[in-house]
Each structure stands twice: as C-alpha cells, then as structure tokens.
Amino acid sequence: MISIENLDFIYPSGNHALKSINLTVQRGEFVAVVGRNGSGKSTFAGVVSGLVRPTKGAVFINGINTKSKSRFIELRKTLGMVFQNPENQLVFEKVRDDIAFGLRNLNFSDAEIENRIEEISKIMGIEGFTDSFELSMGQKQRVAIASVLAMNPQCIVFDEPTAMLDPKGKKDIHNIVVDLHKSGITVVYVTNVIDEVLPADRIVVIENGSIKDEFKKQELFDNIEKMKSFGLEIPLIMDLLYTLKQKGIDIFVNKWAVNDVADNIYAYIENIKGHINV
Ligand SMILES: Nc1ncnc2c1ncn2[C@@H]1O[C@H](COP(=O)(O)OP(=O)(O)O)[C@@H](O)[C@H]1O
Ligand SMILES: [Mg+2]
C-alpha cells in the first residue's frame, strides 16, 4: 500500500528532518509511529501523505510516486490525512461544506454529494452538527475525519489526532480510528500517547529523523526496557503486568484490551486457588 524508499527530507532552512527512511506498510495494516517531540513525526506524516515532497528518495502509494503530478487526484482519493489541530483542516463555517469540499473538487454531482454527506455523517455520528464554530475540538476532529472519509480513501495518515482533545474526545477519536481500521482502512497513526499504540500491528520508533526500531504488537511486552531507553512511556496496562512479572507473577497475555488482560489475571488467580486449595 505504502512504500517509502531511502527517504530524506530537508527543510528550506537546512534542517535535516528525515534521514534514510525505508518503510513498507501493507494494505489493511495499522502502523503506529512514536517518538519524542521534534523527532520528525509530523514531517514524516506530511511526506507519507504526499503533501510534502521528499528531498531525496521516494514515497509510493499503490505504486504511484507521490511526486507524480498527472496522478495527483488518484493519490488524493487513495490516501487522506488527519492533522493534530482540526481547525487547520476545516475551512468552512458549515460542517457540510467541509465534508463536501473534496467531492466538489472532484466534480461529484449535487445528489451524489448529498448522499455521501448523509452516509458519512451517520458513520461518524455527526448528523446533528451544522456550524463548525459551535463544536468542541473533539467534534471538530470528527468532522475533519468525515471530510477525509468522504473521499472513500484506502488509507488514512493521522498526525496525533487526539493531542488537542479532552479525555472524552481522545477516547472517541481513538475508538473511531480503531473502527475505521476494522472496516479495512490502512492506518498510519502518529502518536505520543503511548496507550494509543495498543491496537497497532506494528510500532515504529522515530528518533532524530531516522527509524530507530520497529516492534510487532506481540514483541512490545518483551521490549519494554528498550522502549524506555528511547524515552517512551510504556502503556499503562503493560507496565502493570511488567511490574508484576518483576515480582515473580508472570501472567501470560496476548491481547492488551483491558477485558482480555482482566480475563488472564482472573485465570491466573483461579489457577493458584486450585493449587493451594482455598
Ligand atoms: N517548517 C519547518 N521549517 C524548519 N524546520 C522545521 C519545520 N517544521 C519542523 N521543523 C523541524 O523539523 C524537526 C522535526 O519536526 P516535526 O516533524 O514537527 O517533529 P514531531 O512531529 O516529531 O514533533 C524539528 O527539529 C523541527 O524543529
Ligand atoms: Mg508533530
């Protein structure tokens, strides 16, 4: 789906923000990108989504080079991007104008646009939203995602989409991302909220503009010390199990949703009870 080859990006100021990046994202994957502030995550998101051109190397989306001018529209339809601040993404006063914007540019008919707005609004739970300025940041982020979804993309790049939201907004948006991935959309998810990496298939660590490491979901728990050495937090639920493990309580977990972990802890306790006959 996405192939990044020997990518470098240098800002006009001379800041060498991305260095020798190679990464492939398969169709249907959920890849989380983590790293400290200033490590290059937003630059990476911009280049991957084709909004910014690589200084060196190339990014291919379904085999199409993001530099290709003749296939620009095809690229825009295939891949969308959601920014940290929804206010940078929404330009109109009326919610429906923002959702319709991309479709109008692609010369969809009014009837098609109406249908699409209705369909997307239902999916995103924003049917009652009319004026952007009346919305909370979390609601605005929903509209921003809706405006991207209207193009029916195969892939969405998210750049810290929950960073500016209150706790409920963060949870809402993150759940929406997980649902979109379940519906088949390929997700590249830049975050510094470490708990948000848990649904990802792979976690890519960026430091000083380079990919420093990459963990599969199943490998994360065994690489906690390494994650810490990158200055990353550990997902709370993993930290709990890791701390228990250091105390000699080794609970096997293969899914990190609270329910699954609770089931495993319960099974562990039941097993002990069986052995000591309480
Ligand atoms: N428009 C810009 N011009 C010059 N340097 C920039 C610009 N935007 C970001 N940078 C620099 O590029 C590096 C990576 O920034 P960024 O991609 O925003 O990191 P992150 O999203 O991980 O915080 C930083 O050193 C930052 O100061
Ligand atoms: Mg950033």
- 151 and 186 share a domain? yes
Residues in Cβ contact with 162 at an 8 Å cutoff, skipping those fewer than 6 apart = 141, 169, 170, 173, 174, 191, 193, 196
Q: Are residues 171 and 241 in the same domain?
A: no
Spacing, Cα 161 to ligand 2 middle (Å): 10
Q: How many domains does the chain have?
A: 2
Whether 268 and 209 share a structural domain = no
Considering the domain boundaries, does residue 247 fall inside one?
yes
Local confidence band at 229 (pLDDT 50, 70, 90 cut-offs): confident
What domain range is 267 assigned to?
235-278
**Residue 274: predicted pLDDT:** 79
At 277, the pLDDT band (50, 70, 90 cuts) reads low
- Of 43, 85, 164, 205, the one to substitute when testing ligand 1's pocket (max ligand atoms within 8 A of C-beta) is 43
Q: Are residues 186 and 227 in the same domain?
A: yes
Q: What is the CATH number of the domain that holds 59?
A: 3.40.50.300
User: For a pocket test of ligand 1, which of 7, 9, 15 has the largest count of ligand atoms closer than 8 A to its C-beta?
Assistant: 15
CB distance 82 to 148 below 8 Å: yes
| CA-closest candidate to residue 135, choices 83, 88, 94, 179 | 94
pTM across the whole model: 0.91
Ligand 1 centroid to Cα of residue 10, in Å, is 10
161 within domain boundaries: yes
Residue 152 lies in a domain: yes
- 15 and 44 both lie in a single domain: yes
pLDDT tens, position by position, 140-194:
999 999 999 999 999 999 999 999 999 999 999 999 999 999 999 999 999 988 8
* Kind of pairing between the strands at 56-61 and 2-10: antiparallel
Q: What pLDDT does 218 receive?
A: 86
* Residue 104: inside a domain: no
Let me know if residue 74 belongs to a domain: yes
Q: Which of the ligands is closest to the CA of residue 84?
A: 2
Domain contains 97: no
Residue 255 confidence (pLDDT) above 90: no
Nearest CA to ligand 1 atom 18: 42
Residues 52 and 82 reside in one and the same domain = yes
Report yes or no on 113 lying in a domain.
no
From the CB of 15, is ligand 1 less than 6 Å away?
Answer: yes
Same domain? For 200 and 170 the reply is: yes
Does residue 213 lie in a domain region?
yes
Percent of the chain with pLDDT over 90: 77
Give the model's pLDDT for residue 278. Answer: 59
pLDDT digits (tens, 9 = 90+) for 81-140: 999 999 999 999 999 999 999 999 888 999 999 999 999 999 999 999 999 999 999 999
Residues 55 and 169 in one domain: yes
